[in-house]
Amino acid sequence: MQSVRILQFTDTHLFSDPQGTLRGTRTLPSLRACLEHARRRHLPADLVAVTGDIVHDEPEAYGTLELLLEDIGAPVLLIPGNHDVPAEMHRRFVRPPFQVGGTREIGPWAVMMLDTSAEVSGAGEGRLGTQALRSLAVELDELRRSHVLVFLHHPPVPMEAAGLDSLGLVDAAEFLAVVDAHRNVRGVAWGHAHQSLDLLRGAARLMCTPATCMQFMPRHPDFAVDDRPPGYRVIDLQDDGGIATEVVWLEGYAR
Protein backbone atom coordinates (compact mmCIF):
# COMPACT_ATOMS: atom_id res chain seq x y z
CA MET A 1 0.00 0.00 0.00
CA GLN A 2 1.28 3.43 -0.93
CA SER A 3 1.09 6.34 1.49
CA VAL A 4 1.45 10.11 1.53
CA ARG A 5 3.61 11.42 4.37
CA ILE A 6 2.85 14.79 5.94
CA LEU A 7 4.79 16.45 8.73
CA GLN A 8 2.75 18.94 10.76
CA PHE A 9 4.44 21.69 12.73
CA THR A 10 2.32 24.19 14.61
CA ASP A 11 2.45 27.13 17.00
CA THR A 12 6.07 27.99 16.32
CA HIS A 13 5.57 31.52 17.80
CA LEU A 14 8.68 33.00 16.26
CA PHE A 15 9.88 36.45 17.32
CA SER A 16 11.93 39.02 15.47
CA ASP A 17 14.49 38.59 18.28
CA PRO A 18 16.11 35.14 17.90
CA GLN A 19 16.28 34.96 21.69
CA GLY A 20 12.53 35.52 22.08
CA THR A 21 10.75 33.31 24.59
CA LEU A 22 7.16 32.18 25.10
CA ARG A 23 6.38 31.24 28.69
CA GLY A 24 9.95 30.24 29.36
CA THR A 25 10.79 28.48 26.07
CA ARG A 26 13.02 30.03 23.41
CA THR A 27 10.90 29.42 20.34
CA LEU A 28 13.53 29.51 17.59
CA PRO A 29 15.87 26.86 19.10
CA SER A 30 12.92 24.59 19.88
CA LEU A 31 11.67 24.82 16.29
CA ARG A 32 15.15 24.12 14.98
CA ALA A 33 15.36 21.08 17.25
CA CYS A 34 12.03 19.77 15.89
CA LEU A 35 13.15 20.27 12.29
CA GLU A 36 16.52 18.62 12.89
CA HIS A 37 14.80 15.65 14.53
CA ALA A 38 12.36 15.37 11.61
CA ARG A 39 15.21 15.50 9.08
CA ARG A 40 16.93 12.60 10.84
CA ARG A 41 13.87 10.44 11.46
CA HIS A 42 10.94 11.26 9.18
CA LEU A 43 12.12 12.89 5.97
CA PRO A 44 11.65 12.75 3.06
CA ALA A 45 7.99 13.76 3.27
CA ASP A 46 5.46 14.55 0.57
CA LEU A 47 4.08 17.65 2.28
CA VAL A 48 4.85 19.86 5.27
CA ALA A 49 1.95 21.65 6.99
CA VAL A 50 2.55 24.61 9.30
CA THR A 51 -0.76 25.31 10.99
CA GLY A 52 -0.76 28.75 12.48
CA ASP A 53 0.71 31.03 15.11
CA ILE A 54 3.83 30.92 13.01
CA VAL A 55 4.95 34.22 14.49
CA HIS A 56 4.01 35.87 17.75
CA ASP A 57 2.54 39.11 16.42
CA GLU A 58 5.84 40.10 14.77
CA PRO A 59 5.69 39.70 10.96
CA GLU A 60 9.45 40.29 10.63
CA ALA A 61 9.88 36.74 11.94
CA TYR A 62 8.34 35.19 8.81
CA GLY A 63 11.75 35.52 7.21
CA THR A 64 13.14 33.09 9.79
CA LEU A 65 10.60 30.42 8.87
CA GLU A 66 11.29 31.02 5.19
CA LEU A 67 14.99 30.36 5.70
CA LEU A 68 14.39 27.27 7.82
CA LEU A 69 11.97 25.56 5.41
CA GLU A 70 12.91 26.68 1.91
CA ASP A 71 15.14 23.61 1.38
CA ILE A 72 13.08 21.00 3.25
CA GLY A 73 12.40 19.14 -0.01
CA ALA A 74 8.60 19.19 0.00
CA PRO A 75 5.78 21.67 -0.59
CA VAL A 76 5.16 23.73 2.56
CA LEU A 77 1.48 24.52 3.18
CA LEU A 78 0.77 27.38 5.58
CA ILE A 79 -2.28 28.78 7.36
CA PRO A 80 -2.48 31.70 9.78
CA GLY A 81 -3.42 31.58 13.44
CA ASN A 82 -4.60 34.31 15.76
CA HIS A 83 -1.05 35.60 16.32
CA ASP A 84 -0.27 35.79 12.60
CA VAL A 85 -0.59 38.59 10.05
CA PRO A 86 -2.45 36.96 7.13
CA ALA A 87 -1.85 39.81 4.68
CA GLU A 88 1.90 39.60 5.24
CA MET A 89 1.84 35.81 4.82
CA HIS A 90 0.08 36.14 1.45
CA ARG A 91 2.53 38.86 0.42
CA ARG A 92 5.65 37.01 1.45
CA PHE A 93 5.04 33.31 0.75
CA VAL A 94 4.38 33.52 -2.98
CA ARG A 95 7.05 31.20 -4.35
CA PRO A 96 7.73 27.47 -4.09
CA PRO A 97 7.90 25.54 -1.89
CA PHE A 98 5.39 27.71 -0.02
CA GLN A 99 1.61 27.88 -0.39
CA VAL A 100 -0.75 29.81 1.90
CA GLY A 101 -4.13 28.15 2.24
CA GLY A 102 -5.89 26.37 -0.57
CA THR A 103 -6.12 22.68 -1.45
CA ARG A 104 -3.39 20.31 -2.57
CA GLU A 105 -4.33 17.07 -4.32
CA ILE A 106 -1.83 14.25 -4.08
CA GLY A 107 -2.65 10.69 -5.13
CA PRO A 108 -6.11 9.71 -3.88
CA TRP A 109 -6.00 12.45 -1.23
CA ALA A 110 -6.83 16.14 -1.07
CA VAL A 111 -5.28 18.24 1.69
CA MET A 112 -7.31 21.34 2.56
CA MET A 113 -5.85 24.30 4.47
CA LEU A 114 -8.59 26.38 6.14
CA ASP A 115 -8.06 29.90 7.50
CA THR A 116 -9.75 30.31 10.91
CA SER A 117 -7.96 33.55 11.78
CA ALA A 118 -10.97 35.82 11.12
CA GLU A 119 -11.20 38.40 13.90
CA VAL A 120 -13.92 37.74 16.47
CA SER A 121 -13.26 39.70 19.67
CA GLY A 122 -9.49 40.03 19.41
CA ALA A 123 -8.98 37.64 22.33
CA GLY A 124 -7.80 34.74 20.19
CA GLU A 125 -10.91 32.88 19.04
CA GLY A 126 -11.20 31.61 15.50
CA ARG A 127 -13.94 31.61 12.90
CA LEU A 128 -14.49 30.27 9.41
CA GLY A 129 -17.58 32.32 8.59
CA THR A 130 -20.68 31.55 6.56
CA GLN A 131 -19.12 31.99 3.13
CA ALA A 132 -16.09 29.83 3.93
CA LEU A 133 -18.34 27.09 5.29
CA ARG A 134 -20.45 27.15 2.14
CA SER A 135 -17.35 27.01 -0.01
CA LEU A 136 -16.02 24.11 2.07
CA ALA A 137 -19.22 22.11 1.51
CA VAL A 138 -19.13 22.77 -2.23
CA GLU A 139 -15.47 21.78 -2.53
CA LEU A 140 -15.99 18.60 -0.50
CA ASP A 141 -18.82 17.67 -2.86
CA GLU A 142 -16.46 18.19 -5.80
CA LEU A 143 -13.82 16.05 -4.06
CA ARG A 144 -16.24 13.21 -3.29
CA ARG A 145 -13.99 10.67 -5.04
CA SER A 146 -10.98 11.72 -2.94
CA HIS A 147 -10.08 11.12 0.68
CA VAL A 148 -9.75 14.48 2.42
CA LEU A 149 -7.55 15.72 5.26
CA VAL A 150 -8.44 19.15 6.64
CA PHE A 151 -6.00 21.38 8.51
CA LEU A 152 -7.04 24.42 10.52
CA HIS A 153 -5.61 26.34 13.46
CA HIS A 154 -8.39 26.49 16.06
CA PRO A 155 -9.83 23.41 17.78
CA PRO A 156 -13.22 22.40 16.36
CA VAL A 157 -14.00 20.28 19.44
CA PRO A 158 -13.77 21.05 23.18
CA MET A 159 -10.36 20.46 24.74
CA GLU A 160 -12.02 20.12 28.17
CA ALA A 161 -10.13 23.16 29.46
CA ALA A 162 -12.17 26.28 30.18
CA GLY A 163 -9.53 28.79 29.13
CA LEU A 164 -8.70 27.09 25.85
CA ASP A 165 -12.30 26.30 25.04
CA SER A 166 -13.23 29.97 25.33
CA LEU A 167 -10.73 30.63 22.52
CA GLY A 168 -11.67 27.82 20.15
CA LEU A 169 -13.53 27.84 16.85
CA VAL A 170 -16.73 29.82 17.42
CA ASP A 171 -18.54 28.18 14.49
CA ALA A 172 -17.32 24.70 15.34
CA ALA A 173 -20.82 23.22 15.30
CA GLU A 174 -21.38 24.46 11.75
CA PHE A 175 -17.96 23.17 10.66
CA LEU A 176 -18.58 19.73 12.17
CA ALA A 177 -21.97 19.57 10.49
CA VAL A 178 -20.21 19.96 7.14
CA VAL A 179 -17.65 17.30 8.09
CA ASP A 180 -20.36 14.90 9.26
CA ALA A 181 -22.18 15.31 5.95
CA HIS A 182 -19.09 14.36 3.93
CA ARG A 183 -17.72 10.92 4.66
CA ASN A 184 -14.77 11.59 2.37
CA VAL A 185 -13.32 13.74 5.19
CA ARG A 186 -11.05 11.19 6.83
CA GLY A 187 -9.08 13.50 9.09
CA VAL A 188 -9.06 16.93 10.72
CA ALA A 189 -5.90 18.27 12.36
CA TRP A 190 -5.21 21.50 14.22
CA GLY A 191 -2.95 23.29 16.70
CA HIS A 192 -3.60 26.33 18.95
CA ALA A 193 -4.08 24.25 22.13
CA HIS A 194 -0.37 23.40 22.63
CA GLN A 195 -1.12 19.76 23.48
CA SER A 196 -1.99 16.42 21.89
CA LEU A 197 -5.39 14.85 21.25
CA ASP A 198 -6.49 11.98 19.02
CA LEU A 199 -10.08 10.77 18.72
CA LEU A 200 -12.66 9.54 16.20
CA ARG A 201 -15.86 11.21 15.05
CA GLY A 202 -17.74 9.06 12.59
CA ALA A 203 -15.47 8.45 9.60
CA ALA A 204 -13.03 11.19 10.59
CA ARG A 205 -9.96 11.10 12.80
CA LEU A 206 -9.59 14.30 14.85
CA MET A 207 -6.06 15.28 15.85
CA CYS A 208 -4.62 18.12 17.91
CA THR A 209 -0.87 18.56 17.50
CA PRO A 210 1.43 19.95 20.19
CA ALA A 211 3.47 23.10 19.67
CA THR A 212 7.07 23.17 18.60
CA CYS A 213 7.68 25.34 21.68
CA MET A 214 5.91 25.04 25.08
CA GLN A 215 2.76 23.06 25.93
CA PHE A 216 -0.33 23.78 28.01
CA MET A 217 -1.40 21.28 30.64
CA PRO A 218 -4.34 19.20 29.35
CA ARG A 219 -7.73 19.74 31.02
CA HIS A 220 -6.42 22.55 33.21
CA PRO A 221 -8.98 25.35 33.66
CA ASP A 222 -6.40 28.07 33.08
CA PHE A 223 -3.29 28.24 30.90
CA ALA A 224 -0.88 26.28 33.10
CA VAL A 225 2.39 25.37 31.37
CA ASP A 226 3.01 21.65 31.09
CA ASP A 227 6.42 20.02 31.45
CA ARG A 228 6.05 18.23 28.10
CA PRO A 229 8.78 18.98 25.55
CA PRO A 230 8.38 20.42 22.04
CA GLY A 231 6.60 18.20 19.54
CA TYR A 232 5.24 17.73 16.04
CA ARG A 233 3.07 15.19 14.20
CA VAL A 234 3.78 12.64 11.46
CA ILE A 235 0.74 11.71 9.36
CA ASP A 236 0.78 8.87 6.82
CA LEU A 237 -2.24 8.86 4.51
CA GLN A 238 -3.02 5.43 3.08
CA ASP A 239 -4.51 4.74 -0.34
CA ASP A 240 -7.62 3.17 1.22
CA GLY A 241 -8.40 6.29 3.28
CA GLY A 242 -6.74 5.12 6.47
CA ILE A 243 -4.54 7.40 8.55
CA ALA A 244 -1.48 6.28 10.51
CA THR A 245 -0.14 9.01 12.77
CA GLU A 246 2.08 9.66 15.74
CA VAL A 247 3.03 12.65 17.83
CA VAL A 248 6.78 12.99 18.11
CA TRP A 249 7.95 14.46 21.42
CA LEU A 250 11.50 15.74 21.79
CA GLU A 251 12.06 13.90 25.05
CA GLY A 252 15.01 15.27 26.98
CA TYR A 253 14.95 18.64 25.23
CA ALA A 254 16.53 21.29 27.47
CA ARG A 255 14.70 24.60 27.31
Quote the pLDDT of residue 96: 97
> Could you tell me the CATH number of the domain that includes residue 96?
3.60.21.10
Burial zone of 158 (CB within 10 Å; 0-12 exposed, 13-18 middle, 19+ buried) = exposed
Q: Which residues contact 227 (CB under 8 A, 6 or more apart)?
A: none
Closest CA to 197 of 188, 209, 187, 205: 209
How many separate domains does the chain show?
1
Quote the pLDDT of residue 223: 94
What is the phi/psi pair of residue 166, to 5°? -75, -15
Quote the pLDDT of residue 1: 54
Closest CA to 191 of 55, 5, 11: 11
Quote the pLDDT of residue 93: 98
Query: Tens-of-pLDDT digits for all 255 residues of the chain?
Result: 589 999 999 999 999 999 999 999 999 999 999 999 999 999 999 999 999 999 999 999 999 999 999 999 999 999 999 999 999 999 999 999 999 999 999 999 999 999 999 877 888 999 999 999 999 999 999 999 999 999 999 999 999 999 999 999 999 999 999 999 999 999 999 999 999 999 999 999 999 999 999 999 999 999 999 999 999 999 999 999 999 999 999 999 887
Residue 166 lies in domain: 3-249
Flag whether 254 is in a domain: no
- pTM for this entry: 0.97
**CA dist., res. 51 & res. 85, Å (int):** 13
How many residues are given for the chain? 255
Flag whether 208 is in a domain: yes
